[in-house]
Chains A and B, each alone.
Chain A
Amino acid sequence: MEYSPGTQLPLRQIGAITREDLRAYAEASRDMNPIHLDDAFAKAVGLPSVIVHGMLSMGIVANYLSEIFDKNEISRIKGRFRHVTVPDVPLRCTGGVVREIEPGRILVKAALEDSEGQALTQVEAEIKIDT
């Protein structure tokens, strides 16, 4: 794969995250916050419904990058949780190479988007590459 600035990563359809997925992630991650599990609680604190764990969104994007850059070492990732993500809407991962940080190290940005292309969670990653 070419790692020059502007290179787009392959788009990946993720599908929807269900309430069952949120329960499984809550147990796997030990994050049992009721805003992810209990619709009545979520609405009582002003949310439209239960919401997807930000770290689940970031985890899906991080895995997308790990699978694409499976021969490379990802040395840093940073996720920003831009918009609330609700269950049962189709999601996709996109990304691209931003720039070379220094010889052998690139900055990549990727996102979990809704079907309108709105970035819900953005992730930047520093990746070591062979030069």
Chain B
Amino acid sequence: MSEINQDFIEVSLGEITESQVESFRAATRANLSQIPLTFATRFRDAEYQWLDRLKVDMRHLLHADQEYVFHRALKVGDSISLKSWLSDRKERQRTGLKMQFFKLETEIRVGSEIVISTATTFVVKTPTPKTEGGGA
């Protein structure tokens, strides 16, 4: 099992291009000269590797919340790398439903500089067979 805050997945991505930014502006209806704040959602490669490692059933995956802390604005030409880790996991059982919560944190870097810190909470809701006598 992956340890909280101890195992890391690192991924190197390419440079941010003007074309990527233009497509993202159009798709999010942005009337902005700067790169939209949530452009960083393009950089989920390390999170997807985590979900694979955690054997998450993607059919039951929901995105519960998303946080970004901005240390500096992204620029076209920035060459992005990611360092991501599991920072929390919880499980709750309800009648007929198992709910698993995974919190993943990621440093989005340009070279050695952390430009954005992110925290993502995913919920996996898996139906479970009902047991005699009901559940908690």
Instruction: Tell whether, in the assembled complex, residue B36 and residue A79 are in contact, meaning their CB atoms are under 8 Å apart.
Output: no
Interface residues, chain A, with chain B CB atoms under 8 Å away? 14, 21, 24-25, 27-31, 33, 45, 54-56, 58-60, 62-63, 66-67, 70, 73-81
Instruction: Tell whether, in the assembled complex, residue B27 and residue A56 are in contact, meaning their CB atoms are under 8 Å apart.
Output: yes
B3-11, B62-70, B128-136 - interface stretch: B62-70
User: A15 — nearest CB in chain B belongs to which residue?
Assistant: B29
* Alpha-carbon separation in the docked complex, A83 to B94 (Å): 20
Instruction: Tell whether, in the assembled complex, residue B38 and residue A58 are in contact, meaning their CB atoms are under 8 Å apart.
Output: yes
With beta carbons under 8 angstroms apart, the residue of B34, B41, B42, B66 that contacts A66 is: B34
User: A22 — nearest CB in chain B belongs to which residue?
Assistant: B27
Instruction: Tell whether, in the assembled complex, residue B62 and residue A56 are in contact, meaning their CB atoms are under 8 Å apart.
Output: no
The SS class assigned to the B binding surface is: mixed
Point out the residues of chain A lying under 8 angstroms from B69, CB to CB.
Answer: 75-76
Point out the residues of chain A lying under 8 angstroms from B20, CB to CB.
Answer: 28
With beta carbons under 8 angstroms apart, the residue of B26, B29, B31, B67 that contacts A78 is: B67
* Chain B nearest CB, measured from A75 CB (Å): 6
Point out the residues of chain A lying under 8 angstroms from B42, CB to CB.
Answer: 28-30
**Chain B 5-45 interface 0/1 with A at a Cβ cutoff of 8 Å (1 = within):** 00000000000000010011011111110101110011010
With beta carbons under 8 angstroms apart, the residue of A21, A28, A30, A70 that contacts B44 is: A30
Point out the residues of chain B lying under 8 angstroms from A75, CB to CB.
Answer: 69-70
* Chain B nearest CB, measured from A66 CB (Å): 6
User: A55 — nearest CB in chain B belongs to which residue?
Assistant: B41
Point out the residues of chain A lying under 8 angstroms from B36, CB to CB.
Answer: 59, 62-63, 66
User: B123 — nearest CB in chain A belongs to which residue?
Assistant: A81
Point out the residues of chain A lying under 8 angstroms from B32, CB to CB.
Answer: 63, 66-67, 70
User: A14 — nearest CB in chain B belongs to which residue?
Assistant: B29
* Chain B nearest CB, measured from A4 CB (Å): 24
Most-contacted residue by chain B among A21, A56, A62 (CB, 10 A): A62
Instruction: Tell whether, in the assembled complex, residue B27 and residue A67 are in contact, meaning their CB atoms are under 8 Å apart.
Output: no
5 nearest A-B residue pairs (beta carbon): A59-B28, A28-B27, A59-B38, A78-B67, A28-B23
B60 lies within 8 A of chain A by Cβ: yes
